[in-house]
Amino acid sequence: METHEFGDLRVIRCGPLGPYGNNAYAIADERSREAVAVDMPSGSDELVRALQGFRVKAILLTHTHPDHWAEYDSVKQALAAPVLCHPDERIMPREKSDGPLADGQEIAAGPYVIRCLHTPGHTPGSTCLLVERFLLSGDVLFPGGPGRTQTADDLRQSIASITGKLYTLPDETLMLPGHGGGTTIGESRREYAGFASRPHAADLCGDVSWEM
């Protein structure tokens, strides 16, 4: 578990959790004691403990690959909060979503505003979350490259999401992904510049690195 601070804002990374080394996050305002949870993988008892004493307004899903909502029932019951995800997500049963996450939607935790960025490619409804200088990137973007894609069209869409929405953020923005450690947007943008300067096969997809 690690905690990043900005004023009274706390962004707590719980992880690695479960067999796939997932991260879950608590976005919390110490003053108002309001918070939002992000993802609920196996091992999310750590997330629930981190949110004890806070009023959790929502549980946000970056996307609905099963490893990101493996403990749906226990976490939802423990936090007593609605589960929200982008309506383009199709993997999790529709009835498990209590409401949508739309591009540009804002959710407050005290005075801090969490802005939703629809960034399709890894999945159709993949959504990143921006609060102050922190970007929770789910499985869209990792240090060194994008999240895994199934087709070349998916990769092109993912790169368009990354370059069009994420790389417009300030260099110092701390990017915190759905698995593993983080990096800055500035560093990731520099890595991508090398990838973009080289030719690649038209059918490129799968596990792609900016070093390719």
DSSP assignments along 119-152, one per residue? --SSSTT-EEEEETTEEEEETTEETTEEPPBSSH
Per-chain mean pLDDT for the chain: 97
Q: 65-101, pLDDT tens digit by residue?
A: 999 999 999 999 999 999 999 999 989 999 999 999 9
Helix (H) or strand (E) holding 188: helix 185-196
The mean pLDDT of 176-183, rounded to a whole number, is: 98
Domain 2-196 = CATH 3.40.50.300: no
Q: What integer pLDDT is reported at residue 178 of this predicted model?
A: 98
Question: Rounded to the nearest 5 degrees, what angle is found at the Cα of 86, between the Cα atoms of 80 and 92?
Answer: 70
Q: How confident is the model at residue 203 (pLDDT cuts 50, 70, 90)?
A: very high
How is the chain split into domains, by residue range? Answer: 2-196
Band the pLDDT of 146: cuts 50, 70, 90: very high
